[in-house]
Amino acid sequence: MTTSLKPIAILGAGSWGTALALYLARRGQVVRLWSHESSEIEALLANRENRQFLPGHRFPDEIQPTSNLRQAILGVDDILIAIPSAGFRQTLILLKPVLHEKVRILCATKGIDAEKDQFLHEVINEILGERYPASVLSGPTFAREVAAGLPAAALIAGRDHTTVMALQQRFNSPIFHIEISDDVIGVEAGGVIKNVIAIATGMIDGLQLGANARAALMTRGFAEMMQIGTHLGGRPETFIGLSGLGDLILTALDDQSRNRRLGLALGRGASILEAEKQIGQAIEGKRNAQLIVELASRRKLEAPLSSMILNILQGKAEVRDLIAWLF
């Protein structure tokens, strides 16, 4: 138990933010769980569980839901941001004027900022400045399993070693093993690119093309991840670790993955709108595909799988065209 730690603020009360809040609260840590949606917070306070995104997990007393951002961060050492990438920049803009103390900022979102095509740690550095060195949490973790107390392993990456070590101490436990790294770009790149590969893998399985085709697709996708990620500055060993290959295996092969479920639905004949309605939550890979293609194009890199998936998502190609591309 880690009751001696100061409270932590978690910004974002979706499934992942809630799962991390549950995990930390069960270890005796006070968690301020923030959302800008006052109706969402009212429901969390009334029900003492997140019935919308993570039903069936009662909140310990240590979880304190709030829609008051200033109150959420008061007296904390650590702020974890688990906001979908579409709202990430705006959340930081809201956060900046109420930050009066030096705190550690940890990004738990896997995505790219659409406004400037930046990784999210770069958005943190741009808006909050060097006083708040950004770290990222990534790896093969499903929210429901973390909330259920099942074992997992993840990675915290950051360029400030003292910050990363402090965050590791807060999160590491016998059931949630935390490795550390200074390869922030490699960790973020792996977490973003695997979302697109997971959509593609779901399409292969939705088309019922079998295990051979699935393995071929994932191999080519992983090669694309390595090529783009290392060109951006990530280290090869990062991509064969938890935040690269580990996260890819989880996201591409298990139906808990929203990105995989999107691909499955499309492979079975659903439209984009029908698939999104079925899933009902943000699907990062849908946005990631376009941003990866644009990012690769500016750097004169090839991203054939990401380009194919983008064309399918934009209605410029059929799901079955993936077969011809693959073989």
Q: Which residues are catalytic?
A: 194
Pairing type for strands 31-34 and 8-11 reads: parallel
* SS3 of the chain: CCCCCCCEEEECCCHHHHHHHHHHHHCCCCEEEECCCHHHHHHHHHHCCECCCECCCCCCCCEEEECCHHHHHCCCCEEEECCCHHHHHHHHHHHHHHCCCCCEEEECCCCEECCCCEEHHHHHHHHHCCCCCEEEEECCCCHHHHHCCCCEEEEEEECCHHHHHHHHHHHCECCEEEEEECCHHHHHHHHHHHHHHHHHHHHHHHCCCHHHHHHHHHHHHHHHHHHHHHHCCCCHHHHCCHHHHHHHHHHHHCCCCHHHHHHHHHHCCCCHHHHHHHHCCCCHHHHHHHHHHHHHHHCCCCCHHHHHHHHHHCCCCCCCHHHHHHC
What value does the CA radius of gyration of the chain take, rounded to a whole number of Å?
Answer: 19
Cα–Cα distance, 323 to 313 (Å, whole number): 15
Residue in the structure block whose two tokens are 């064969």: 240
